[in-house]
Amino acid sequence: MIFNRNTYFLLFATLIMAATVGAQQKQRPNVILIITDDQGYGDLGVTGNPHVQTPVIDALAKESIRFNNFYVSPVCAPTRSSLMTGRYSLRTGMRDTYNGGAIMASNEVTIAEMLKQANYRTGAFGKWHLGDNYPFRPTDQGFDESVIHLSGGMGQVGDITTYFQGDRSYFDPVLWHNNQQQAYQGYCSDIFTDQAINFIDENKEKPFFCYLAFNAPHTPLQVPDSYYQKYKDIDPSSGFVGDDRPFSPMSEKDKEDARKVYAMVHNIDDNLGRLFQKLDELKLSDNTLVIFMTDNGPQQTRYVSGMRGLKGNVYNGGVRVPFFLKYPSLTKGNKDIETMTAHLDVLPTLSEICKVEMPKDRVIDGKSMVPLIKGKTVDWEDRSLFFYWSRRYPELYNNMALQKGGYKLVGKTDYNANIEGFELFHLRQDPYEQNNLISDKKELAMDLKKELDDIYKELVFSENLVNPPKIIVGNPHENPIILNRNDAGGERGIWNQEEVYGNWEVDIEEGYYDITYKFVKPIKANGRMVLEANTLVRQMVNKEDNTDVVQMKRVYFPKMTGELIPFYAVNNKNIFPFWMELKKLDQ
């Protein structure tokens, strides 16, 4: 063979092409994890709802591995901590959705931190709900880029930039871009999708992890009118002729709420259409792993595929959700998996697919779902899942359950109840949890109760629960710092009340601070602004009438750990601030 210039050029080009193809084959997949808020199992066309229009998500489901027996926690913050860590939420310090219990310990390792080992670029957009202050924010937990709202929802008391917008809190919001307030134009779900698309476009040349956590269709139920108009005339309780599954009666308010929810879900569907179109344009679809799921059952009564219970409940209507996984490079999809899986399994699954190590210094409660995708069910039959939900801390046997081997033991009873006070369901024969078998299968129920007791005893004494994380005040990573009502402890159920006892658990750096107190409503003059911090008490008389802001200048704190307890004492009332800001001074 005679080698000339053209021959060498052709050989060189062939080698370059082979190397490029090899690199592409070895490249780790991009990961897009989509989670919606309070969207129940029945709020999709593909799960049998004749009213809601979700063609994009329905198409995704048909191209995906469909995990049809997938479970989460009964409420949002615990679900998100388990999703991010592969661990039961109580291990992470998460015990509530507010009341100071929605802060995930900073020593937890998130999916983002795990993927950073392989130089993934990481972005979080939408709802975080795992802590609003340093060191608990997305950027403190492995995310390079974040655009989020605070606390459990826009318009809620913890989200100080949207709360006072009332029925416009989802529109033209002030959000937090990399921990700084920034104003945005438009509807929240559109904004979060725009930010996710921008992130993907900017990081298309390297592996990325995009966490797109819509706050819709969580309350307040706000949606662009163009979407509401599509649903304003439907009857959400109709259209299920011949369906023998249980269906709870819907009040007129339930029906109106469902119309708004379906409109919000329709908007999400359109946004995901834009996102997937961008992947196609960038030729990233084949090497991008896409997950779609929701965080718990619906808050309001509506179609939930016949399941019992709603959000907050350990019955299946509160904890069973859709889960679709699409990754063309691994599987062609369009496959149903009926094995019981859970939010705990996402981190281990991504660890195996993305070829990055999981944390080895802690218990990981989840299991990789890759064997199931490959048709291997060995070691899954004896798997159990623990569920609970009650405010503040778990209440023994009150809204608590253990699921194993197709059976589910449910406790809705007293801490000292005998086994007859429980419910036992065979989910394979009774997926709607209608037939209590406790009288016929007491021995099986006792075995499940023993395992439930063992798991409860282990989790309730978790280090991060016994010694909960503290907000760090005075750190240069967040100065000034704003402490909001979502993270306030004290009385149960602190929300937007004026007369309520509250505090914040903090670690304070030594120094002088300017402190600003913001109140829900204007306060009267000549009251005393009081701040208690362990043994230190600072107080001053407020001379300004009808103001909603009071300031204390140059307040000294030694380095300390404890509770900040502020209140405004006036006319025999102790009024708790809506939020307080502490700015550490240079001297």
Question: Residues 425-449: pLDDT tens digits?
Answer: 999 999 999 999 999 999 999 999 9
Q: Phi and psi for 114 in degrees, rounded to 5?
A: -65, -45
Which pLDDT score, from 0 to 100, does residue 485 have? 97
Which pLDDT score, from 0 to 100, does residue 26 have? 52
Residue 10 binned pLDDT confidence (cut-offs 50, 70, 90): very low
Residue 410 has pLDDT above 50, yes or no: yes
Which pLDDT score, from 0 to 100, does residue 329 have? 86
pLDDT in tens, 303-351: 999 999 999 999 999 999 999 999 998 888 899 999 999 999 999 999 9
Q: From CA 197, how far away is CA 69, in angstroms rounded?
A: 30
CA 259 vs CA 222, 223, 316: distances in Å = 11, 10, 23
Which pLDDT score, from 0 to 100, does residue 371 have? 94
Residue found under tokens 């004290």: 490
Which pLDDT score, from 0 to 100, does residue 3 have? 43
pLDDT in tens, 378-395: 778 889 999 999 998 999
Q: From CA 143, how far away is CA 405, in angstroms rounded?
A: 37
Residue 299 has pLDDT above 80, yes or no: yes
**What's the CATH superfamily of 27-373?**
Alkaline Phosphatase, subunit A (3.40.720.10)
Query: What are the percentages of helix, strand and coil residues in the chain, rounded to 5?
Result: 25, 25, 50
Percent of the chain with pLDDT over 70: 95
Mean pLDDT of the chain: 94
Strand order in the sheet with 481-484: 481-484, 579-584, 511-523, 547-557
Which pLDDT score, from 0 to 100, does residue 17 have? 40
Q: From CA 434, how far away is CA 574, in angstroms rounded?
A: 48
CA dihedral 194, 199, 205, 209 (to 10 degrees): -110
SS3 (DSSP) at 190 = helix
Residue 148 near residue 127 (C-beta atoms within 8 A): yes
Residue found under tokens 């946004």: 271
Q: From CA 511, how far away is CA 281, in angstroms rounded?
A: 53
pLDDT in tens, 202-230: 999 999 999 999 999 999 999 999 999 99
Write down the pTM of the prediction: 0.94
Which pLDDT score, from 0 to 100, does residue 242 have? 61
Peptide bond just before 74 cis, omega within 30 deg:
no
Name the nearest CA neighbour of 97 among 448, 299, 392: 392
At a CB cut-off of 8 Å and minimum separation 6, what does 36 contact? 214, 216, 217, 265, 268, 293, 294, 295
Q: Phi and psi for 389 in degrees, rounded to 5?
A: -160, 120
CB neighbours of residue 180 within 10 Å: 7
Side chain identity at 545, as an amino acid letter? Answer: D
In the numeric block, which tokens belong to residue 392? 């503040």
Residue 13 has pLDDT above 80, yes or no: no
Which pLDDT score, from 0 to 100, does residue 376 have? 86
pLDDT in tens, 519-554: 999 999 999 999 999 999 999 999 999 999 999 999
Residue spans of the domains in the chain: they are 27-373, 384-466, 471-584
Which pLDDT score, from 0 to 100, does residue 518 have? 98
Peptide bond just before 50 cis, omega within 30 deg:
no
Residue 562 has pLDDT above 80, yes or no: yes
Peptide bond just before 298 cis, omega within 30 deg:
no
Q: From CA 558, how far away is CA 202, in angstroms rounded?
A: 44
Residue 36 binned pLDDT confidence (cut-offs 50, 70, 90): very high
Residue 260 has pLDDT above 60, yes or no: yes
Which pLDDT score, from 0 to 100, does residue 244 have? 79
List alpha helices for 440-530, DSSP H.
442-460, 463-466
CATH code at 471-584 = 2.60.120.260
In the numeric block, which tokens belong to residue 226? 């163009």
| Mean pLDDT value of segment 91-113 | 97
CB neighbours of residue 62 within 10 Å: 13
| Mean pLDDT value of segment 177-188 | 98
CA 224 vs CA 171, 190, 404: distances in Å = 9, 10, 43
CATH classification number, 384-466, choose in 3.20.20.480, 3.30.160.270, 3.40.50.300, 3.30.1120.10? 3.30.1120.10
| Mean pLDDT value of segment 154-176 | 96
Q: From CA 78, how far away is CA 89, in angstroms rounded?
A: 5
In the numeric block, which tokens belong to residue 257? 């709420």
Q: From CA 98, how far away is CA 502, in angstroms rounded?
A: 12
| Mean pLDDT value of segment 288-306 | 97
Q: From CA 585, how far away is CA 501, in angstroms rounded?
A: 28
Which pLDDT score, from 0 to 100, does residue 380 have? 86
pLDDT in tens, 59-81: 999 999 999 999 999 999 999 99
